[in-house]
Amino acid sequence: MDAAHAHTHDHGHDDHGHKPSGIMRWVKSTNHKDIGTMYLWFSFTMFMVGGVMAMIIRAELFQPGLQIVRPDFFNSMTTYHGLIMVFGAIMPAFVGFANWLIPMQIGAPDMAFPRMNNLSFWLLPPAAMLLIAAQFMPGGGAGVGWTMYAPLSTQAGPAMDLTIFAVHILGISSIMGSINIITTILNMRAPGMSLMKMPLFCWTWLITAYLLVAVMPVLAGAVTMTLTDRHFGTHFFNAAGGGDPVLYQHIFWFFGHPEVYIIAIPAFGVVSQVIPAFSRKPLFGYASMVYATASIAILSFMVWAHHMYTAGMPVEAQLYFMYATALIAVPTGVKVFNWVATMWKGSLTFETPMLFSLGFLFLFTLGGFTGLVLSITPVDVQLHDTYYVVAHFHYVMVAGALFSAFAGIYFWLPKWTGRMYNETLGKWHFWLSLIFFNVTFFVQHFLGLAGMPRRIPDYALQFAEFNAISSIGAFGFGLSQLLFLYIVIKCITSGDKAPDKPWEGADSLEWTHLPTPAPWHSFETPPVIK
Amino acid sequence: MSIKGIKRWAAAGALFFWSFAAWAEYKLNLQTPHTLLGEKIYDLHSIITAICFVVFVGVFGFMFYAVFKHRKSVGHKAAQFHENTAVEVAWTLIPFVILIAMAVPATGTLITMRDTSEPDLTIKATGYQWKWGYDYLKGEGEGISFYSTLSTPRAQIEGSDVAGRNANPNYLLETDNHVVVPVGKKIRILTTAADVIHAWYVPALAVKQDAIPGFIRDTWFKAEKAGIYRGQCAELCGKDHGFMPIVVEVMEPAQYTAWVATQQVKVAAAKVDPNKTWALDELKAHGEKVYAQNCVACHQATGMGVPGAFPALAGSKVVNGPKADQIKLLLNGKQATAMAAFKHLSDADLAGVITFTRNNWSNKTGDAVAPAEIKAARN
């Protein structure tokens, strides 16, 4: 019996050590590192697809008049640009980070449910294909906006059904991924790795995963109600049948506002690893960072109707949502102050990951401040559904989440690939992205203040100059991302060999306890944390 | 601080605010408000932006100080402190206090903004895909009712008349009928919609309110100065969302009274005798106008629709089928499609447009649908 057991164990162990080759290594993968890699490449592919849509939008808006696309196609572009960037690019990117890093940072051998991990990833490509296939349905893509407001969504063509189905699949994938992350963090930490000793990145993902489990079903509910309104004679959102179109908005934003933090909080986590590393100084206020992140997550459930100030609600409700929304500035401020205090009296160097983190800090805070301006109801009523809002959320989503993802890629690329990226090119990528980002989006604040509504394919002449500037910036930003692809491929194929710990100040387990590149299986025996 | 220091600061401050004023000409700020509430909102926005700006400069002053002074390349050695409860408490409480300071004026403005009581004139604005309908419900001008459609020529939009576009200061911001209101009177706008959600947005009058099908919302403004104020639909409402502007014309009271009189004459002239018998050609000619106002955006002037999105009427089974089915479809719309209900149109309008579609393009049914048939079908 004992011998048989030993035999099976050995056999199993051999299987683990043997890396399957070819395409089946990826299709059947249960390895957290391979799955993380697939998430990241999937995310970059979607980033390119969503980016092409953004280029089409900006090309049409380069000049007044309709030049390139028809209005319904333009609406479809704004819709799928949003959906693909949020659900296809940004969210999977951070799940990719989670897969790669959480097991290594807590000293676990893999994720808790490796097979479910495989399924979580492989649900994404079919969902992406549905979103892309929607473009080719009769009548074209559904031009309903990424918010898919009813009753516009109930009168859209068959592309809407594909979109709803895609959202369902993405939601299932997210929920499974989140359960995996929660279970891994709560059960698989190495002995001595208490929750309050975890790297902040793990904390941010633990909180994010709870947010996902809480709100993805709500989104699924909203789109399912849209589906039954469309095909099965229900009237959830149809006033003529006793329903209420605004109900959709309440449900959607109950998901939608936490969603903002589902994207932002892992970004906070990445930046909280990078800034201390390049400041050569521990993160300032670790405990207060954890509490601030949790506070932001809890508050995010209580502020959804600030997206609906013009939809009509009692003045008391508007007052409440205004106060609650402004309150989010407090924990967010704490985080910004902590990051600056981490740098204070450090010994700073400015490699590409640090540059992207500083870009994040500066521009995310700017986006936070415009968010504060928007939280003030009477001001928001002027700015709601204008380009000011477009500028605001691109500061948070692009300069916030995307820049932080870039910081994370440059930071961990040596550990993942065993090779260094080209530092000079990395810095070029940063400065080009920073400049073109601001050229694209800073001027959109002025467009919004002057009263240009969002989601319009053509505009009055007084908006022409800023739109032209914004389009030029967007093309520059888009092209700069090809440089990023080149840097990553060059790093993988011919980068210099990276040392085990290329960053002097990095102190989490993947740097201190593992060789570079990280072996296919790490921490099969847990490390001892003092 | 020395006198010289104070002077220097004052000069810097003046320069700072002057630069704001100079920007305003380049449309870097909210539109110049023309209501008292709008001015309040404008000031509120300025104050909050200024506070944010000061805090931003302060925080990033620290960051850039560290970036330049605490860098390894100038030989700075890292300190190892990483906690300070007093500092944490301070930077939690101070922002809280600043927020309360912002909330006080915001609360006052919000309460004023939402007080739609005791209006002098109440107008209902109904959003349609893609135009606005206005009904003067109460106050001087009661009973006036019209549609307001984009009047920018398609040639300017689609690029065959670029010179015309460039010479048009109100490109995309002009309509055939203006919403006319008297100056200095409280105007309450009720918003609703017939199909999907729209939003009634006029920046200079500081109003934006969603127009929701099946529900009524309200907002108000009191213009301080006569003039023409332009806005747009602000909520994505489908294909021509960018092409349904709002033009509000504020008139001196005497002028307004004169406008009301001319409108009422028009209303009386347009009133059709319900017992009038129409000839087929008469109905068709009337229907063509109705079609151009209500149907052409989707079904197109050719009656061919847009393949995949909007069905063709030429050769359509419904249009060439029994009259009763087509009447029913126009009165009730078709759920889960872009075909809205058109029961808000008059019997004569519906009879006209149905007759027109049944006897135009390749359709040759020879049917004339009388207004009485529509009236019967309504019940």
Domain of residue B292 covers 280-378
From B88, B113, B138, the end of a domain falls on B113
**DSSP-derived pairing of the beta strands B246-251 and B179-182:** parallel
Tell whether A272 is covered by a domain.
Answer: yes
Residue B2 lies in a domain: no
Residue type, A295: S
| Mean confidence (pLDDT) of chain A | 93
From residue A100, how far is each of A79, A231, A290, A372, A524 by CA, in Å? 31, 42, 21, 34, 15
Mean per-residue pLDDT for A79-83?
96
Q: What is the pLDDT of residue B368?
A: 84
Compute the C-alpha angle A16/A512/B68, nearest 5°: 135
Residues of B in contact with A377 (CB under 8 A): 106, 110, 113
How far is residue B329's CA from residue B317's CA, in Å, rounded to a whole number?
12
User: Residue B102: which CATH number?
Assistant: 1.10.287.90
Cis ω for the linkage preceding A64 (within 30 of 0): no
Assess whether B244 and B310 both reside in one domain: no
Residue B109 lies in a domain: yes
Asked if residue B5 belongs to a domain, the reply is: no
Please check whether residues B261 and B130 belong to one and the same domain.
yes
Q: Which residue type occupies A334?
A: V
Q: Which range (A21-25, A386-390, B17-21) has the least confidence?
A: B17-21
B153 and B89 in a single domain? The answer is no
pLDDT, position A22: 85
Q: Are B294 and B232 within one domain? A: no
Question: What is residue B3's predicted lDDT score, i.e. its pLDDT?
Answer: 60
Residue A523 is assigned to a structural domain of this protein: no
Residue A11 placed within a domain: no
pLDDT per position as a tens digit, B231-249: 999 999 999 999 999 999 9
CATH of the domain at A124: 1.20.210.10
A116 within some domain: yes
With a cut of 80, say whether residue A6 has pLDDT above it: no
Are residues A155 and B336 in contact, defined by beta-carbon separation less than 8 angstroms?
A: yes
B165 shares a domain with B47: no
Contacts of A12 (CB under 8 A, 6+ apart): none
Burial A306-316 (b: 16+ CB within 10 A, else e): bbbbbbbbeee
B214 CB neighbours in chain A (<8 A) are: 238-240, 244-245
Choose one of B80, B96, B113: the last residue of a domain. B113
**Chain A with chain B: Cβ pairs closer than 8 A:** 301
Phi then psi for residue B127, to 5 deg, are -85, 130
Residues 52-111 of A with CB under 8 A from B: 64-67, 71-72, 75
CB B248 within 8 A of CB B140: no
* pLDDT at residue B337, as a whole number: 76
Please tell me the distance from the alpha carbon of residue A276 to that of residue A282, in angstroms, as a whole number. 5
| pLDDT band of B27, cuts 50, 70, 90 | confident
Do the Cβ atoms of A424 and A388 come closer than 8 Å? no
A508 touches chain B (CB under 8 A): no
Question: Does residue A521 lie in a domain region?
Answer: no
- Does a structural domain hold residue B63? yes
- For tokens 């100038």, what's the residue? B74
Tell me the HSE value of A118 on the side-chain side, using a 13 A CA sphere.
10
Claim to verify: residue B172 and residue B256 sit in the same structural domain: yes
List all residues 6 or more positions away from B301 whose beta carbon is below 8 Å from its beta carbon. B292
Cβ pair A381:B70 closer than 8 A: no
Q: What is the ipTM of this complex?
A: 0.90
- Specify the number of domains making up chain B: 3
Give the mean pLDDT of chain B.
Answer: 88
Residue of B nearest to A464 (CA): B166
B171 interfacial to chain A (CB closer than 8 Å): yes
| Cβ atoms B102, A326 nearer than 8 A | yes
Domain with A189 in it: 29-238+246-512
Structural contact between residues B319 and B219, judged by C-beta atoms closer than 8 angstroms: no
Instruction: Please tell me the distance from the alpha carbon of residue A381 to that of residue B41, in angstroms, as a whole number.
Output: 9
Number of domains in chain A: 1
User: pTM to 2 decimals?
Assistant: 0.89
Distance (Å, rounded) from C-alpha A188 to C-alpha A184?
5
Question: In this structure, what CATH number is given to the domain that contains residue B229?
Answer: 2.60.40.420
CB-based contact, A376 to chain B, within 8 Å: yes
pLDDT at A508: 93
The whole-number pLDDT of residue A254 equals 96
Cα Rg, chain A, nearest whole Å: 23
- Residue B332 falls inside a structural domain: yes
Residue scoring higher pLDDT (B283 or B99): B99
B7 domain residue, yes or no:
no
The per-residue pLDDT for B26 is 55
Nearest-by-Cβ selection for B110 from A137, A239, A318: A318
Distance, in Å, from the CA atom of A337 to the CA atom of A331, rounded to the nearest integer, reads: 10
- Between A451 and B27, name the one with better pLDDT: A451
Query: Residue A282: which of A226, A344, A332, A221 has the closest Cα?
Result: A344
User: Sorting pLDDT into bands at 50, 70 and 90, what band is A46?
Assistant: very high
Q: Long-range contacts: A480-488, Cβ < 8 Å, 24+?
A: A480/A429, A480/A432, A480/A433, A480/A436, A481/A47, A481/A48, A481/A51, A481/A433, A483/A425, A483/A428, A483/A429, A483/A432, A484/A406, A484/A429, A485/A44, A486/A425, A487/A421, A487/A422, A487/A425, A487/A426, A487/A429, A488/A409, A488/A413, A488/A421
Q: Is the pLDDT of residue B62 over 90?
A: yes
Of the candidates B81, B113, B145, which is a domain's last residue?
Answer: B113
**A490-527 per-position pLDDT tens digit:** 999 999 999 999 999 999 999 999 998 999 999 999 99
Sign of CA dihedral A312, A314, A315, A320: negative
B238 and B318 inside one domain: no
Query: What does the pLDDT read at residue B24?
Result: 44
A15 located within any domain: no
Cα–Cα distance between A243 and A238 in angstroms, integer? 5
Quick: pLDDT tens for A335-350. Answer: 999 999 999 999 999 9
pLDDT digits (tens, 9 = 90+) for A165-221: 999 999 999 999 999 999 999 999 999 999 999 999 999 999 999 999 999 999 999
Strand order through the sheet with B179-182:
B179-182, B246-251, B227-233, B198-202, B207-211
* Cα B115 to Cα B202: distance, rounded to the nearest angstrom: 18
Does some domain include residue A465?
A: yes
Residue with tokens 């001892």: A528
Residue B136 sits in the same domain as residue B254: yes
State both tokens at B134: 């206005």
Q: How far apart are CA A120 and CA A141, in angstroms?
A: 26
A529 within some domain: no
Determine, for residues A282 and B80 on separate chains, whether the beta-carbon distance falls below 8 Å.
Answer: yes
Cβ proximity of A309 and A377 under 8 Å: yes
pLDDT at A12: 44
